[in-house]
Amino acid sequence: MQQSAPVTDDFGETELRSFLARAMVGEAPWPFPAWDDGQSEAAWQAIAFHGCALAIVEAGNSCADWPDALRARLLEEARLQALWEASHKARLVRVLDALAAGGVEVLVTKGSALAYSVYPDPALRRRGDSDLLVTPGQAAAARNVLASLGLTLDLPGTMQEIWLDKTASGFAHQFDLHWHSASAPAAATLFSPAEALAHAVPLPRLSPTARATDPLRTFLNDALNQALHARSGYLVEGAYRRGSCRLAWSYGTALQANAFDEEAWRALAQLAMERGAALVALRAIEAAQHDFAAPVPAQILAMLRAAGDGGAIDRFVFHKDGWEHLRANWANADGWAQRKEVLRAALLPSRAFLSDKYPGMARWPLTALRLRRIGSALWRRLVPRR
């Protein structure tokens, strides 16, 4: 069985992560006696990555003992986070109303579903977009509705599309239109859109007509999203951070844990094991326990740990062999259009991806960077590690 890895910190500051987690729930005065400009910048990068500025402020912290410059940035970020949420909600409701009027059944998923269900203030769920799920048969109709509202297609795809809605206030709101539960074919076996619609729940805090994925599928989808971002990276202020669970995510998992009763926990564990995502669920739970002492029944942890890492989604997410990822996506792709996209992503990744992967070679020609990646993969395949 693959052992669950401890929660890691991209910035190498375990003490800082712990402090921020405590500050998010109003339990931590500033603990550092001396703090230079470099350390303040590192702290700000951590706050930005973890998406916790508003949570720290709303937890009742005056932050009076914080370094002045860092405190000013924190308060400004919290203000912008609250303003963004107010603007985003209006645009999201506009999109949902238009889709409903166009006869498209749509569900709010992932972060926005959690923001308007378990968070005391939706703005506390720091995010840059809203994820919307439709059935494959209604993707074209949904696309037409979004275009009619003036949104622009920013990134097409065979499993999802990114649409942008630019407002007069200067905010650019992103909507990820999905017709599968995940953007990778091997992970999209988590659940189907039809299944999600059959179990949909109302989301009245967003709007009277809004609907979302049910708590079990929302939990697993969010946990899967966390695991995939930990592997591929999360973009913060122009740089990708890998290997860490953001506090905004583990806080959301803790809030979900607080809302689950014993029956819900058992149903969640059973669904996770049935879909081959027991380790995905376990990693999210353990991060929430580490950061916020999330209450989880011991028998549920035992069930998930006993399931091991043999599930198909767990193998895909946590297996480090890129060839295995390619094989899994190829095997689960729905038709040749998706297979073509799988090959393109594997063999012809973008310059942004490669520059992040090989920062010392960022000025190399794109073709050279791609050959460098393929050569490394072949070498690892042909030469066994000792």
- CATH code for the domain of 155: 3.30.460.40
Residue 16 has what pLDDT? 86
- End-to-end Cα, the chain, rounded Å: 21
Q: Is there a domain that residue 1 lies in?
A: no
The total number of structural domains that make up the chain:
2
Residues 355 and 224 in one domain: no
Residue 71 belongs to what H/E stretch? helix 68-101
Structural domain boundaries, residue 100: 14-318
Residues 219 and 355 in one domain: no
Residue 7 has what pLDDT? 45
All residues at 6 or more sequence positions from 131 whose CB lies less than 8 Å from its CB, including other chains? 108, 109, 110, 111, 112, 113, 175, 176, 178
SS3 state of residue 235: strand
Residue 15 region, left (φ>0) first, then alpha (ψ -120 to 50), else beta? alpha
Q: Is there a domain that residue 341 lies in?
A: no
Residue 212 has what pLDDT? 98
Residue 172 has what pLDDT? 86
Q: Is there a domain that residue 6 lies in?
A: no
Residues 209 and 149 in one domain: yes
Residues 283 and 365 in one domain: no
Residues facing residue 240 across a β-bridge: 235
Residues 123 and 218 in one domain: yes
Residue 239 has what pLDDT? 62
Residues 146 and 266 in one domain: yes
Residues of the chain with pLDDT under 70: 1-13, 233-243, 320-321, 352-357, 359, 377-386
Residues 226 and 367 in one domain: no
Q: Is there a domain that residue 332 lies in?
A: no
Q: Is there a domain that residue 370 lies in?
A: yes
Residue 79: what are its φ and ψ, rounded to 5°? -65, -45
